[in-house]
């Protein structure tokens, strides 16, 4: 599994070949709309690109949250996400 908090990536660098390499990896992204460090729109573009290439992404929008709100407030949800990964892969 991959969990991303306000990821920085260039969506234009993703193509079908690259997405196929991660097809079996669960991805969850949390991003706050008030993030001034990594623009929310970049994550929207990234998620849209992956989904247009057939990759399912669990994208959680956090209204009014900033770049630094995520790791402390969501730690239990992040841990649960990874624990589910271990349970489902065993």
* Sign, Cα dihedral of 27, 32, 37, 43: positive
pTM score, whole prediction? 0.78
Residue ranges per domain, the chain? 2-89
Beta bridge pairs of residue 3: 28
Which has the closest alpha carbon to 70: 36, 27, 30, 29?
Answer: 30
Residue pair 11/55 in contact by the 8 Å Cβ criterion: no
pLDDT digits (tens, 9 = 90+) for 25-77: 899 888 999 999 889 999 999 999 999 999 999 999 999 998 887 667 788 88
CATH code at 2-89: 3.40.50.1820
- Spatial CB neighbours of 9, under 8 Å, sequence gap ≥ 6: 42, 46
């Amino acid at each position: 599994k991959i969990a991303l908090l306000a990821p920085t990536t260039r969506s234009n660098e993703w193509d079908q070949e690259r997405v196929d390499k991660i097809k079996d990896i669960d991805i969850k992204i949390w991003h706050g709309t008030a993030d001034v460090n990594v623009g929310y729109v970049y994550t929207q573009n990234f998620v849209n690109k992956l989904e247009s290439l057939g990759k399912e992404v669990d994208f959680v929008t956090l209204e009014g949250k900033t770049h630094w709100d995520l790791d402390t407030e969501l730690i239990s949800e992040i841990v649960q996400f990874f624990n589910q990964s271990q349970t489902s892969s065993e």
